[in-house]
Amino acid sequence: MADVNESTTTPTATRCGRCQAALTEREQVTAGDRVFCRTCYDILKLQVRTGVAAMSQDINYPIAAIGAILGGVVGALAWWGLTVLTKIGFGLVAVVIGLLVGHGTLRFAGGKRSLGLQVLAVAVGALSFLVAVYLVNMTFFNEALAQRGEAWRVGFPPPSINVFYRVIAANFGIMKLVFLGIIVYEAWFIPRPIKLAAP
């Protein structure tokens, strides 16, 4: 009567999530909720780094600039139209300029991201906002001029940088500064490069 006791504990071996090799405790590298062998972990890490680096390489800046400018034009026209129609400076709509410029940049850059795209979007976003402010003021100034029977009008494009500045500066208060800040923030944030968390 041989009592064979075969109930030895069979530990479920931890396997590498990539090559399926059985791993001892010391060989395991945990990444997120998965476990890999050291070699596979290094390969995956390199692949992720290469992918992230490629995201900021070979960017077609002229095409990205077209996307940014398109977004800026649409946003500026939308704000101008709405403000002239409603006679209220719907500041919140100005924020749309930042979204359109940021996403226009990102989309036309083929989803690529870089510091250069951030700078591009910020420059186009800020300029679009200033042009929109100019257009709104121009419209209200010209209405006032017409009511007073004056013959001259503020034109677009502005005849000089000086005129551009003076028309914008006529009523540039703290709220416009806030809107400009939000637009710059959005334009900066949307095409930002993805950063890998430090190990």
Whether the CB-CB separation of 35 and 23 falls below 8 Å is answered with yes
Residue 154 touching Zn ion (CB under 5 A): no
> Among 153, 163, 71, which residue's Cα sits nearest to residue 109?
71
Tokens of 139: 């419209």
Q: Which span sits near Zn ion by CB under 5 A: 13-21, 58-66, 99-107, 182-190?
A: 13-21
> Among 50, 44, 24, 46, which residue's Cα sits nearest to residue 32?
44
Whether the CB-CB separation of 113 and 56 falls below 8 Å is answered with yes
Residue 135 touching Zn ion (CB under 5 A): no
Nearest distance from C-beta of residue 45 to Zn ion, angstroms = 13
Which of 18/176 has CB closer to Zn ion?
18
CA gap 170, 177 in Å, rounded: 13
Which of 18/107 has CB closer to Zn ion?
18
Q: Which span sits near Zn ion by CB under 5 A: 17-25, 61-69, 124-132, 173-181?
A: 17-25
Q: Which span sits near Zn ion by CB under 5 A: 33-41, 60-68, 119-127, 154-162?
A: 33-41
* Residue 155 to residues 22, 25, 59, 140, 191, Cα–Cα distance (Å): 76, 75, 37, 12, 34
Q: Among 2, 15, 33, 37, which residue interacts with Zn ion (rule: CB under 5 A)? A: 37
CA gap 38, 169 in Å, rounded: 62
Q: Among 29, 35, 40, 154, which residue interacts with Zn ion (rule: CB under 5 A)? A: 40
Nearest distance from C-beta of residue 46 to Zn ion, angstroms = 14
CA gap 101, 19 in Å, rounded: 44
Residue 15 touching Zn ion (CB under 5 A): no
Distance from the Cα of residue 133 to its chain's centroid: 22
Nearest distance from C-beta of residue 64 to Zn ion, angstroms = 39
Which of 17/71 has CB closer to Zn ion?
17
Residue 170 touching Zn ion (CB under 5 A): no
The residues binding Zn ion (CB under 5 A) are 16, 18-19, 37, 40
